[in-house]
Chains A and B, each alone.
Chain A
Amino acid sequence: QVQLQLGGAGLLKPSETLSLTCAVYGGSLSGYFWNWIRQPPGKGLEWIGQMNHSGSTNYNPSLKSRVTMSIDRSKNQFSLKLTSVTAADTAVYYCAREVGSLRGDVSWFDPWGQGTLVSVS
């Protein structure tokens, strides 16, 4: 059973760079898109972007200019960097695997990491 474990700094100052990693246990990075999703306190879910094991990425246009994702195959983990953070970036950040149907016409997020609160102040 695949499990995702988040790591990274939880308290940042404005203009700093957010850096998070998500380690994948019990499965391979290959064959999936790996996603970052965030949730401001008391609010809904916002998709940040995704990356597959080959390095292909899709980013949310609202964050694209500040986001970089990467994959480390040797450590079986993927990472998120978000530059120039402000208080608006305060949120619980989740990582999640995107699973697709065999036909490739539908996909869904499963499993999710436990989430980590990143505060900018």
Chain B
Amino acid sequence: DIQMTQSPSSLSASVGDRVTITCRARQNITNSLNWYQQNAGEAPKLLIYAASSLQSGVPSRFSGSGSGTDFTLTISSLQPEDFATFYCQQSYNTPRTFGQGTKVEIK
């Protein structure tokens, strides 16, 4: 299995802040990395696929970068609706695996 490690596990930030979440894979996964946002009580929603491609309908303040083993999700200006938990996920091989999640809370 490919272990995915996110950091930090949680963070506190204010509206308007720039937020960066990192995800590290235990082996090279090229660009097979996706990011999801999960609001409390809801299903995860795709934000970024293939490391840096923005899913249709997702605000442009979200961006992804990286390749190989190290990846980043950036929110350029945090909005009230962005307080949620974010997960990375590798699709390089099976079993598909997720990071443990990063909870973004209001400061």
Contact = CB atoms under 8 A, between A and B. Distances in A.
Nearest to B99: A44
Interface string B31-55: 1101010000011111001100001
B74 interface: no
Contacts of A46: 98
A101 B98 contact: no
Contacts, number: 64
Given A45-B98, A61-B95, A106-B50, A112 B45 contact: yes
- What band does the interface of chain B fall in when counting residues whose beta carbon is under 8 Å from A? 20 to 34
A54 interface: no
Contacts of B45: 112
Interface string A76-100: 0000000000000000001000100
B50 A47 contact: no
A110 to B, nearest CB: 4
B94 A58 contact: yes
**Which of A59, A94, A106, A115 is packed against the most chain B CB atoms within 10 Å?**
A106
B7 interface: no
Contacts of B72: none
A114 interface: yes
Interface residues of A, number: 26
B20 interface: no
B28 to A, nearest CB: 13
Contacts of B55: 110
Nearest to B35: A108
A62 B31 CA distance: 25
B97 A106 contact: no
Nearest to B32: A106
Contact of B43 (A44, A49, A113): A113
A107 B94 CA distance: 12
Which are the 7 A-B pairs with shortest beta-carbon distances? A108-B49, A112-B43, A47-B96, A110-B46, A60-B95, A106-B50, A45-B98
23 contacts: A44-B100, A44-B101, A45-B89, A45-B101, A46-B98, A50-B96, A58-B94, A58-B95, A60-B95, A62-B95, A105-B30, A105-B32, A106-B31, A106-B50, A108-B34, A108-B49, A108-B50, A109-B44, A109-B46, A109-B89, A110-B49, A113-B43, A115-B43
